[in-house]
Amino acid sequence: MLKGKTALITGGGTGIGRSIALRLAHEGVNVTINYSCSEKDALETRSEVEALGVRGFLCKADVANDEQVRGMVRKTIEEFGRLDILVNNAGVTYFVDHDDLEGLREEHWDHIMGVNVKGIFHCCRAASTELKRRKGCIINITSVAGLTGRGSSIAYAASKAAAISVTKSLARVMAPEVRVNGIAPGIVKTRWVEGQEEHIRRYAGRTPLGRIAGPEDISEVAYSLIAHLKFVTGQIIVVDGGVFI
């Protein structure tokens, strides 16, 4: 069903992005793996992708930079001849307690909003013409923080709420050719939460399913939205084990 198609995954070298890259590669999808600083991880992910019998392509770009994003999309199409799937997974945060209002500095806001919100818009805009031509789809990785106002910082939660809004807006304006959906994970076992074992334990204890998510839990939802749920657009799928029901 997906064999021979091409996906561009931002932040594709680690964590959720890596898991989605491998899941799609398993289905015969060629993958552009975007990274901004984790080149070693991105190289390893490309090797794993290519071991599954498809082509991998690395592209360094800061998604907050529109010119770099347009170049990344152009290079992907030049490399593979097409672009069918866009996964906006790149994200940043700063861990600042919500009650530490003075600790959340302007540069935190600018960096977080630049990557987590403008980055999604830049990528979708740059890829829109090709995705419409291919009747493709977009998956935006958001967060339950955007629905609850909780999370690593107030700025992070605000950025994810904005990402959810952007997802809904783009689903409207890119239809009917392109479906745009979001996935809102809770805590996921990635390097973002390394060293926060007590926080993970408390969170898992509040989860009806008794654990936090692994990256594969998110990639399976992404795959379903891409491959099977053809009449779903503008939706935010919460994947948090039931914490916020």
Active site residues: 156
Contact between residue 79 and residue 136 where contact means Cβ atoms under 8 Å apart: no
Query: Sheet containing 137-141: which strands, arranged edge to edge?
Result: 56-60, 30-35, 6-9, 85-88, 137-141, 179-185, 236-239
Contact between residue 29 and residue 67 where contact means Cβ atoms under 8 Å apart: no
Q: Which of 92, 6, 1 is nearest to 49 (CA)?
A: 6
DSSP 46: H
Q: Which 3 state secondary structure label does DSSP give 88?
A: strand
Query: Which residues have C-beta within 8 Å of that of residue 78, sequence separation ≥ 6?
Result: none
Query: Which residues have C-beta within 8 Å of that of residue 119, sequence separation ≥ 6?
Result: 10, 63, 64, 69, 88, 90
Contact between residue 23 and residue 46 where contact means Cβ atoms under 8 Å apart: no
Q: What is the Cα–Cα distance from 50 to 183, expressed in whole angstroms? A: 26
Buried b (16+ CB within 10 A) or exposed e, 191-219: ebeeeeeeebeebbeebeeeebbebebbb
